[in-house]
Structure 1
Amino acid sequence: MTASGHRRTNEHAPELRAAARHFGRRRFLTVTGAAAALAFATNLPTAGVAGAAELDAAKITENPFTLGVASGDPQAHSVLLWTRLAPTPYQADSGLPPERVLVRWELARDERFRHVIRRGAAVAHPEFHHSVHVEVGHLDSDRVFYYRFRVGSWISEVGRTRTAPSSRADVSELKLAAVSCQAYHDGYFTAFGHLAEEDVDVVFHVGDYLYEYAVNSVGGARNYTDRVLPDLFNRETITLEDYRLQYALYKTDPDLIAVHAKHPFVVTWDDHEVENNYADDIPENAVPPEEFLLRRAAGYRAYWENLPLRRPQRPEGTDMQLYRRLNWGRLAQFDILDTRQYRSDQAYGDGADVPGPETDDPSRTITGETQERWLLDGWHASKALWNVLPQQVIFSQRKFDLTVPSRVSMDAWDGYRASRARVLAGAKSAGIDNLMVFTGDVHVGYAFDIKDDFDDPASRTLGTEIVTTSVTSGRDGAEKPANWDTYMQANPHLKFYNGRRGYTTVRLGRESARADFKTVAAVTTPGAPITTAASFVTEVGDQGLKPA
C-alpha cells in the first residue's frame, strides 16, 4: 500500500489513465502483434504441452520438493493438492529441463499412509514451471486427510488437509486463521511457525503473499550472517522469470513450508503480487498500458503456479478470476473478493485525502459491476448463519485526523464510498444478520464495528471487520503506533488497534464468534514467542465487538 498521507508521485498519471482507457485491456489483446507478444512474454501453453518430451525421473538427482506442499479451497467432497518441482529453486529453470515430469500422489486417512484411499499421477508441465494442481474428488465430507507426492525415488513431506462439511450439515463450530502481508525483506516468518502449531480448520490469506521489491544478499531486515542470497533477487520483480524466482525465495522459507503443510489455505491477492497500488489495468508508475498488462499477466501467472488454486482460477492472459464462494455446512458462507483487478482508478491521485465527489461517484467501483452483482446475488441465496467476506483493503470508515472533514485512504473502501454503500444496502436487503469481513493490507491489527452510518456511533451495527496484522511487513512494529490515540478518538467504531506482527484466529459458533489477535514482539530476529494481544466476541443476531 502507499503510506497514508502520501499521493503517488506520478506526474504523468492523467496521461497514463487516458492512455489506459484508450487502449483498454480487451482492445489491446485483439491486436495480433500485442497478443503474440503477450503469449511470448508469459510463456503461455500451446499445443506443445501435450507433445513435450517426458523427463526420466532417474535423472533428477536432487530433492525436487524444496518448496514444500500445500492444499487449498476445501470443498465438501474434494481437496486441491499442490506442489512445484524445483531441485535448485534459485535458478530460473529450477534445475529442470523443459520436459514433462510425471508426479505421483497419494491421499490417506492417516499420517503414516497405512490407509491410502486415493492415488494417481499428474504431469508437471514446463509451461507451468513444473507446478502440479491435483483435484481429488468423491471424498467423504468433513474429514481430515494426509497427502504426499513422489517423483522417482524422491518423496515429498506429508501434508495435512481436509474436506468441508456437506452443504446441509448443521456444523457447531469452525476455527480459522486470517493472515496477510509477508514481505520477506522485512523479517522472519515467525508467525507462520506458530500458526503451524495451531489447531485450525483453514487459513485465509487476504493478500500480499509476496512483494515485488528487491531482496539484498542478507535478506533485508533478516540480516543473514550464515547465508548469502544470489544477486538475482536484488532487483524489482517485473518479468515472469522475476516473479517465479521471487516465489521460490519466499516458498523456501521453513515456516511458510510448515504452515502450508499443516493447514489448507484459501488465498486472494492484493496489489504487491503485481505492483503497489495498481488499479485494474492502471499501473502505479508511468509506463505504457500494454507494458503494464504484460507485467500483470506475468504476476497472475506466477501466482497461480505457486499457490493451491483450482482450475477455474487458472489465468487467461492478463485476466484471472479469483473471486469465488466456499461453504462450511450451514454455519458459514465465504465470498472471497478481488478488490484489485476490476477497480476504478483511485480518487484524487491515491494516498490520503478528504472525501469528495469522486469518492461518492456511483460510476466508480472497487469490485467491478459483475463481481458486485455476484456477491449480492450470493447473499440473497445464502442459507448460512455467518456470511464472511475475505478481502483485501479496509472496508470500514477509517479517519486519519480529528479535523472535520478528515482525510481517509483513497486505496481502501473509503475511496469508493458508493461501492461500499451498495454492498451494505445489498446485505440489508438480503437479510444478512451476521456479517464478518476479513481484511489485511495495512500491517496492523484492527477490530471494527461496521455501522449503518459510520458518522453516527448510535446507528445500527451491521457486522464486524477483523483486520489481521502483517506477518512481517512493516518490520517489528509497536503495540501502540504513534497515531494510536488519534485513530481511536476519530473512529468510535474502532474497538482495537495494535501495530505488532502476527495473525488472527476466529472461532465461528452457533451463538457467537470469537476473534483472538496473536502477535510476536519481533520479526527482525527469529524465534519470538506468540502472545494473545486481545480477544473479542460478537453475538449471533446482536452484532458488535465486545472484549472476551
Structure 2
Amino acid sequence: MSVLDRYALSRRRLLTAFGGAAVTALSIPLESGKALAQPMFRTYPFQLGVASGDPSPDGFVIWTRLAPEPFEIGYGMPMAPVAVDWEVADAANMRNVVAKGTTIAPPELGHSVHVEVAGLQPNRDYWYRFTAGKERSLVGRARTTPALGATLDRVRFAVAGCQHYESGYYTAYRRLAEENPDFVFCYGDYIYEGRGNRVSNGWNGPTENVRQHFGSEIYSLDDYRRRYAQYKMDADLQAAHAAAPWFTVWDDHETDNNWVGELDQDGTDPKLFNLRRQAAVQAYYENMPLRASSFPVGTSLQIYRRAAYGQLLNLNLLDTRQFRTDQPCNDRQSWCDAITSPKAEVVGAGQEKWLMDGLTGGKTTWNVIAQQVMMMDLDRDPGPGVIVNPDSWAGYRIPRGRLLGKIRDAKVGNVVVLTGDEHQNFAGDLYVDGTKREAAPIASEFVVTSITSGGDGNDQRDEFAKIQAANPMLKFNNNQRGYAICEATPKAFVTEFKVLDAVTRRDGKLSTRAKWALEDGKPGIVQA
C-alpha cells in the first residue's frame, strides 16, 4: 500500500476536519482509484516560505510547511493529512518541469513536507514550488552538487547563523540572497528559546528591542513550532532560503542555552530535560530541509553528515552538542582542572572516527570542518592568567588536542574549520597548544559573526584588541553583524567577511570588512 493510499481521506472526513481552516474540499483521483481531498484555504498556507537543502549530485530536499495561522493552536490546520503537489523545473519561469509529484503533509510533523528529489543533472541550478489546493508557494532555487570526482574551477558559498529575532532585522539575509551562492552553511542558533522581552541588557546597557518574541520561554512542541514560525515569517530569511540550498546544523539555542547531552544550564532532572529535547528535536526536523536519514528518534537526530564538491571540497558537518560532556568550571569563563579532564568529549568517539575517516579517505583539495563552537585555543585573559570559554573547544583540552594531533599525524592538508557561536568575526590558525605552537599550523579557522545576535556592534571591542595582541594565532577580530562568503578554488580558499553598519534599522549598509585566505599547500592564513 502506497503512502497516498494509506493517507487517502474521504470527502466527509476532510470537510469535518478542516472546519474553519478550509471553506470547501476538492477530490483528486489517484492511480489507486481512491481519492485524496484537498482544501481551499481562507488564509495563505505558505506563510513560512520554502527551502531546499542537503543537495547531492542528482537532487536535493525541498521543504515547506503549511501554517495558515502560525501563532494559533493548530496553526490553522486540521489534525488530518493534506496532499501537497510539488514541481521542479530547469528555469525560474517554471515552464519546463523536469520532476513533479504529490506528497503528504502529515499533522504528526506539523504539516511539513520533505521531498527528496532525485534523477537530476549534477552541478546545475533548478527551481521548485509547491501547491496545496488552489494555493501556490513562491519559487525557490536549488542546486545539485557536482558529480563525484568532478574537476571544478570553484565553489562559492555562504556561512551564517545566530539570528536572534529581537536583536535586529535580517537585512544580512537579504544581501546574502543576492550573492547567489552555491549553498549556505548555517552553523546554528537558528532560533532563540527565551521569552519575549521589550528591553535587553547588552554590553552598552539597556536597549529597546526592535521586535519581540511571541510568548514566554519555549518548552513544548507547540511552543517550538510557534517560535520557528515567527522566525520563518521574516521575508528576508525566506529570501535567503529561496536563493540556495542550505546545509543546516544546530547549536544550543534550538533547544536551550549551552545544553550538552542530557544536561541543561539549570540543573534540570535529565528525565525532564529530555522531554524538552524531544520537542526541540522534532520541531527542528519539521522546520529544516533535512533528509529522512535525519528523522528524529526520541531525543536524538542524525545531524553530522558529509557532502563532496567534486575533487575540490570535502564538507564535514559536525554535531558538538549531542555527544558532549558537561562544560567545565561550572560553565563560567575561567580556568579550572576540569578543562584537562581525560574523560571529556566534544563530538564523541564515534563521530570523531567518522570525521577522521572522511578527512583521511578523501582526495579533495580542501577539507572543511563545518561546526558550531570555536576551536582556536584562545586565552581570553590578556594579562598573565589564562581564561577560556568553557563552551568552546578550548574548554576541552584533551579531545581538542587529540583531534588536531590526529589531523597533524595523518598529514591531512588544507584543513579549514568554519565556526559560529561567538557573535564576532575571527580568523586564525590552529595548533595543538596555542601557547606552544608547532612550526606550522595544523589547520586554520574562520569564525563567522551573527546575523543579528549582539545588536549593531562596533569594529572591535576594547578587550578583544588586547586579547588579539596576547594570542598570536589570532590574526583578525571584528564585532559587527553579517555573514561570510567563502570561495574555494584549486589555488586558494578565501573567506570574505561581510558586515553591516547596523541591524537595528532595516537600511543597514553592507561592506566587506576583510578577506583572509589559505593558499593550497601552504599552512597558515594570509590577508587577501
User: What TM-score results when the alignment is normalised by the length of structure 2?
Assistant: 0.90
Q: Which letter does structure 1 place at the counterpart of 2:344?
A: R
SS in 1 for 2:430: strand
Shift of 1:50: 4.7
Shift of 1:280: 0.5
- Residue 325 (structure 2) pairs with residue 344 (structure 1): yes
Separation in 2, partners of 1:104, 1:301:
23
Separation in 2, partners of 1:174, 1:439:
18
For residue 93 of structure 1, what is the aligned residue in structure 2? 74
Separation in 2, partners of 1:87, 1:475:
31
Separation in 1, partners of 2:210, 2:431:
44
SS in 1 for 2:396: helix
Separation in 2, partners of 1:529, 1:210:
24
Separation in 2, partners of 1:238, 1:403:
41
Tell me if the contact between 2:456 and 2:504 (Cα under 8 Å) persists in the aligned partners.
yes
Tell me if the contact between 2:359 and 2:412 (Cα under 8 Å) persists in the aligned partners.
yes
For residue 303 of structure 2, what is the aligned residue in structure 1? 322
Separation in 2, partners of 1:105, 1:222:
38
For residue 404 of structure 1, what is the aligned residue in structure 2? 384
For residue 543 of structure 1, what is the aligned residue in structure 2? 523
Q: Which letter does structure 2 place at the counterpart of 1:240?
A: L
Separation in 2, partners of 1:430, 1:263:
34
For residue 462 of structure 1, what is the aligned residue in structure 2? 442
More strand by share: 2
1:201 aligns with one of 182, 203, 206: 182
Distance 1:83 1:297, change over 3 A: same
Is there any run of 5+ residues in structure 2 with no aligned partner, and where?
A: 19-24, 26-37, 201-206
Deviations 1:57-102, CA, capped at 9 Å, x for gaps: 3332221111000000111112110000011112131101101110
For residue 381 of structure 1, what is the aligned residue in structure 2? 361
For residue 223 of structure 1, what is the aligned residue in structure 2? 210
Correspondences of 1:349-368 after superposition (within 5 Å): 349-354=330-335, 356=337, 358-368=338-348
For residue 174 of structure 1, what is the aligned residue in structure 2? 155
Correspondences of 1:15-54 after superposition (within 5 Å): 50=7
Separation in 2, partners of 1:497, 1:484:
8
1:250 aligns with one of 225, 231, 234: 231
- Residue 520 (structure 2) pairs with residue 533 (structure 1): no
Q: Which letter does structure 1 place at the counterpart of 2:420?
A: G
Separation in 1, partners of 2:490, 2:267:
51
Separation in 1, partners of 2:257, 2:197:
19
Tell me if the contact between 1:188 and 1:222 (Cα under 8 Å) persists in the aligned partners.
no
Q: CA RMSD in A?
A: 1.8
Shift of 1:253: 0.5
SS in 2 for 1:392: coil
Q: Which letter does structure 2 place at the counterpart of 1:523?
A: V
Distance 1:222 1:112, change over 3 A: farther
Q: Which letter does structure 1 place at the counterpart of 2:210?
A: N
Separation in 1, partners of 2:198, 2:329:
38
Larger RCO (alpha carbons 8 Å, 6+ apart): 1
Deviations 1:317-374, CA, capped at 9 Å, x for gaps: 1111111111111111111000011100011211212253x22223210101111111
Total equivalences in the alignment: 494
Distance 1:458 1:421, change over 3 A: closer
Tell me if the contact between 1:65 and 1:87 (Cα under 8 Å) persists in the aligned partners.
yes
- Residue 474 (structure 2) pairs with residue 487 (structure 1): no
Shift of 1:522: 0.9
Separation in 1, partners of 2:137, 2:70:
15
Separation in 2, partners of 1:424, 1:49:
50
- Residue 289 (structure 2) pairs with residue 308 (structure 1): yes
- Residue 70 (structure 2) pairs with residue 83 (structure 1): no
Tell me if the contact between 1:185 and 1:221 (Cα under 8 Å) persists in the aligned partners.
no
Q: Which runs of 4+ in 1 moved over 6 A?
A: 217-220
Is there any run of 5+ residues in structure 1 with no aligned partner, and where?
A: 1-47
Separation in 2, partners of 1:458, 1:343:
27
Separation in 1, partners of 2:285, 2:88:
22
Shift of 1:218: 9.8
Separation in 2, partners of 1:523, 1:533:
16
Shift of 1:535: 0.8
For residue 29 of structure 1, what is the aligned residue in structure 2? none
Deviations 1:464-513, CA, capped at 9 Å, x for gaps: 10100000001111111121221111211111100000001110110111
Separation in 2, partners of 1:145, 1:161:
5
